[in-house]
């Protein structure tokens, strides 16, 4: 069995690679989150093209979704852990390995910037979330906040 750290790192690597479109074998909790998240993003950003991505290790504990528009790409990777403590431990291992920088979060969540990847990673309940937004200048910062809010809502209702 692969370690949670390996799963999380593999999920982030895949989220940054070209997408592979296959059905995901997801845990019911992640399926519920995706059922709330996808329509919420589509409602907010109706011109974006949605693509689900098959996790590299085909883990039921990993959800990867991507959206693209002309000058925008968004990748969301959510990894489920058995407890808040396990998620927190994994987040610390991951951020240490990736040399992430702790940042402030309006919601009070533990959040890190991964400068070399242009992404943020944070923990919400027993999930770690990696959010990669590629857009122009000020638009990127605004989109990160909007997408993070949509993801957090989808997780909170789980």
Would residue 93 count as lying in a domain? no
Entry pTM: 0.80
CA distance 65 to 49: 11
Tell whether 44 is covered by a domain. Answer: yes
Q: What is the CATH number of the domain that holds 57?
A: 3.30.310
pLDDT band at 21 (very low <50, low <70, confident <90, very high): very low
Provide the pLDDT confidence category of residue 149 given band limits of 50, 70 and 90.
very high
When divided into structural domains, the chain yields a total of 1
Q: Are 84 and 125 in contact (CB under 8 A)?
A: yes
107 Cα distance to chain centroid: 16
**Rounded Cα distance, 3 and 63, in Å:** 17
| 79 in any annotated domain | yes
Domain residues for the domain of 118 are: 4-83+98-103+112-156
């Amino acid at each position: 069995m692969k370690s949670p750290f390996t799963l999380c790192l593999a999920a982030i690597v895949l989220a940054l690679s070209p997408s592979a479109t296959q059905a995901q074998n997801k845990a019911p909790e992640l399926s519920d989150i995706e059922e709330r998240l996808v329509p919420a993003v589509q409602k907010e950003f109706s011109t974006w093209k949605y693509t689900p991505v098959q996790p590299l290790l085909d883990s039921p504990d990993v959800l990867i979704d991507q959206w693209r528009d002309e000058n925008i790409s968004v990748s969301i990777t959510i990894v489920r852990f058995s407890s808040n403590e396990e998620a927190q431990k994994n987040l610390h291992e991951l951020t240490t390995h990736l040399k992430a920088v702790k940042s402030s979060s309006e919601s009070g969540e533990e959040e890190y910037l991964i400068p070399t990847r242009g992404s943020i990673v944070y923990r919400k309940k027993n999930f770690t979330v990696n959010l990669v937004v590629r857009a122009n200048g000020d638009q990127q910062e605004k989109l990160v906040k909007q997408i993070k809010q949509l993801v957090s809502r989808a997780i909170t209702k789980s």
